[in-house]
Structure 1
Amino acid sequence: MTNDLLNEAEEFIRSCYKELNKTNQELENRLNQINKQILIYDFYEHTAEELEYGAKVAWRNSNRCIGRLFWEQLNVIDKRNLNSEEEIISALFEHIRYATNNGHIRPTITVFTQKSPNKTVRIWNHQLIRYAGYKTERGVLGDPHSLSFTETCIKLGWEPKFGKFDVLPLVIQINENQPKLVEIPETLLLEVPIRHPHYKWFEDLNLKWYAVPIISDMMLEIGGITYTAAPFNGWYMGTEIGARNLADELRYNMLPQIANLMGLDIKNSISLWKDRAILELNTAVLHSFWTDGVSIVDHHTAAKQFKKFEEKERNSEREVSGDWTWLIPPLAPATTHIFHKSYKNEINKPNYFYQPKPY
């Protein structure tokens, strides 16, 4: 374990200090310092500069993300010094406020203490802001993706509201302590009502979505050190909402209802009713976010941005890794250059990784 950590630490520090244009003397001094820490304590701590670099490069290395052009613009908030659930919750509220920025979304990550034998911090939520899902006699009410977590929150004492778009509470746990549950203040929540530029009946569907997707259940790994609580966000690509969250059969499944209201024949696939309905749903999502001044990107623009990212990486003599099945947008993928390319889906570190659910 010690040798593995030494090797990963050295590989990270050499890469970090090279890209940050540090001197050879600074590099050797830091490596000696880290070696001593690991040999004595079996771990080491990143400097603020190393943490910021590592978090940004983890985004650059994220194979499934089409938005990596902006990796250098990530705002890194260092909260490794916090020790209590109350302090962590306050920091999460601050992350939501700062990242939301009245709709001008700022890419942000808040990093809490590293995992150690004495300390582990976990955020139970998949995303800091997410809608509840309830099993009812008529099927699922709300978001089916949230069924198990919603039941967990109810067992922990949360009072369900049984609405279609109920924002779930935050659940924080330190070590094996009793998890702490808290509602997100409404003043921090920015949600966008979904309406269509031409179909006025769209408003009657009473659809909406939250402004910022803050992933909170993944771990950040930098140079052999693991941060089990490091929520991060960019801004939405429209298809994430319009072609997945609101459209998937296993999510809100809105396509049949929209197609019916459009007067389409949903009994015959040759009518391409799903294609026409999903196009108008995505049109509505983009229109609504733009009208409300909330940052969002369409999939064609995102693909062009990814192409620019590929060019910049090539100029920096770095090969772009990628998971093709995630990089192609779920709407009109063949109209993007990504569809016609292949990528090595190899994992480079630093990076963000899935971890087992704590519940």
Structure 2
Amino acid sequence: MTVPGYRDMPADTWDPSAPADPAEAEEFLRLCYTEQPRLGPVEPRLAAVRAQIAATGTYTHTSEELTWGAKVAWRNASRCIGRLYWRSLTVLDRRKARTADEIFSLLVRHLDVAGGGSALRPVISVFAPAVPGRPYARVWNEQLIRYAGYRTEAGIVGDPRYVSFTDAMHAMGWRGRGGPFDVLPVVVETPDEAPRLFELPEQAVLEVPIAHPELSWFERLGLRWHAVPAISNMRLRVGGVDYPLAPFNGWYMGTEIGARNLADPDRYNLLPIVASGLGLDTSHEATLWRDRALVELNRAVLWSFERAGVKITDHHTESSRFLAHMRNEEKAGRPVPADWTWIVPPMSGGATPVFHRYYHEADQRPNFYLDSEAASLARGTGVCPVLESAPLVPVA
């Protein structure tokens, strides 16, 4: 298999100085105007786009093209199991925002639209595209909401995944409370401003305390998780035009929290603690104590979100819905790209219908891409020493 972005074949490296590809622009526009006939004939639009690329190296999407392109990028996202809802994506056109203050205000607005009143909905905010050879705005964070990880003499407090990022934030002036669920600041970088730190207002961060339907001691663990998984460092590519700042969200599948974020040994590593609370024999693996603890941790997550009235889905239901999405797409004559290693849930995979089949692997565009520099910044390993003096900007 030699499909870019899959397994051992890295995705093509993005060159921000390269002009928009006229062939990719044409392919996108023909597909867009075919699937959206209300937009009219495509030939006049193609002529205008070719001329714009020739003159400037890029072109400007209409609001209709951008909205459709963002939705199709979700439709093509091979690692997402929740694509049945791709048509319902709310697309917020934020291309006019320029300053860090404007951008951060709109990021807060994104979270409000996505999770206001706990009625979660899929949302993408698309900021200004990259212009060949020029700097562009971006957010360093992997997600708009994530928890800090602190190095202490007793070990790591918080999320170990973000220890280096937290260190970078400390170097830039931020000071967290030192707790296990401290929300990290958002770092916004623009062409005209050095990276700035903004703290999310409390009302923008919807969180759910984690308890268990039967085990009273579970609540005393003091667990919680945020409700909106808003990915913020992936590049949206539509018709040869790149949008480096295009945060998007859906809602959680329970296993993302209960079988990964809270359970992975290099994350919160809660399975030994849960197993101890359950009184399980952890002396050897054959007792399946990890499996039993994993089930109860995931039950707690699902029950807690449902009790709080916050949207979430379980891996069995979502697996069935993904197959429904595949049937819909096949009826429309469209192939469905999917990465088996991401589509199969991280818990009870063999008990779900998505396990027992192969999938079409392809890099279909429009799509989302994670660039190596963006990944490095999100890990806290791409920080330049000159940024250590960047100010903390609290927002009420």
TM-score by length of 2: 0.88
Secondary structure at the residue paired with 2:189? strand
Cα separation, 1, equivalents of 2:162 and 2:19 = 40
Q: Is 1:305 the equivalent of 2:321? A: yes
**Counterparts in 2 of 1:1-359, with a 5 A limit?**
5-22=21-38, 26-116=41-131, 117-175=133-191, 177-355=193-371, 356-357=373-374, 358=377, 359=382
- Report the alpha carbon displacement of residue 119 of structure 1 after superposing the two structures with TM: 4.1
Count matched residues: 358
Cα separation, 2, equivalents of 1:119 and 1:249 = 38
Q: Deviations over 1:54-90 (max 9, x none)?
A: 0000000000000000000000000001111110000
- Report the alpha carbon displacement of residue 167 of structure 1 after superposing the two structures with TM: 0.2
- Report the alpha carbon displacement of residue 160 of structure 1 after superposing the two structures with TM: 2.2
- Report the alpha carbon displacement of residue 4 of structure 1 after superposing the two structures with TM: 6.3
Cα separation, 1, equivalents of 2:301 and 2:285 = 24
Cα separation, 2, equivalents of 1:52 and 1:188 = 25
2:14 maps to what in 1?
Answer: none
List structure 1 segments (4+ residues) > 2 angstroms apart after TM superposition: 1-4
- Report the alpha carbon displacement of residue 321 of structure 1 after superposing the two structures with TM: 1.1
- Report the CA distance shift for 1:8/1:284 in structure 2 as closer, same or farther (over 3 A): same
8 Å Cα contact 1:2-1:39 kept in structure 2: no
Cα separation, 2, equivalents of 1:174 and 1:265 = 53
- Report the alpha carbon displacement of residue 142 of structure 1 after superposing the two structures with TM: 0.3
Cα separation, 2, equivalents of 1:333 and 1:21 = 40
Cα separation, 1, equivalents of 2:194 and 2:180 = 29
8 Å Cα contact 2:147-2:159 kept in structure 1: yes
8 Å Cα contact 2:127-2:245 kept in structure 1: yes
- Report the CA distance shift for 1:303/1:32 in structure 2 as closer, same or farther (over 3 A): same
Query: Residue type matched to 2:246 in 1?
Result: A
Query: Residue type matched to 2:110 in 1?
Result: H
Cα separation, 1, equivalents of 2:163 and 2:24 = 38
Cα separation, 2, equivalents of 1:2 and 1:29 = 25
8 Å Cα contact 1:77-1:111 kept in structure 2: yes
8 Å Cα contact 1:122-1:174 kept in structure 2: yes
8 Å Cα contact 1:2-1:38 kept in structure 2: no
Point out the more displaced range, 203-212 or 168-177.
168-177
8 Å Cα contact 1:124-1:172 kept in structure 2: yes
Amino-acid identity (%)? 48
Cα separation, 2, equivalents of 1:148 and 1:175 = 25
- Report the alpha carbon displacement of residue 135 of structure 1 after superposing the two structures with TM: 1.4
Query: Residue type matched to 1:130 in 2?
Result: R
8 Å Cα contact 1:328-1:338 kept in structure 2: yes
Cα separation, 1, equivalents of 2:134 and 2:370 = 22
Query: Residue type matched to 1:53 in 2?
Result: W
TM-score by length of 1: 0.97
Cα separation, 2, equivalents of 1:3 and 1:129 = 33
8 Å Cα contact 2:205-2:226 kept in structure 1: yes
Cα separation, 2, equivalents of 1:230 and 1:45 = 16
- Report the alpha carbon displacement of residue 289 of structure 1 after superposing the two structures with TM: 0.1
- Report the CA distance shift for 1:3/1:285 in structure 2 as closer, same or farther (over 3 A): closer
- Report the alpha carbon displacement of residue 335 of structure 1 after superposing the two structures with TM: 1.1
Q: Deviations over 1:296-347 (max 9, x none)?
A: 0000010011011011001001111100000000111111111111112211
Q: Which runs of 5+ in 2 are unaligned?
A: 1-16, 383-396
- Report the alpha carbon displacement of residue 30 of structure 1 after superposing the two structures with TM: 0.3
Secondary structure at the residue paired with 1:53? helix
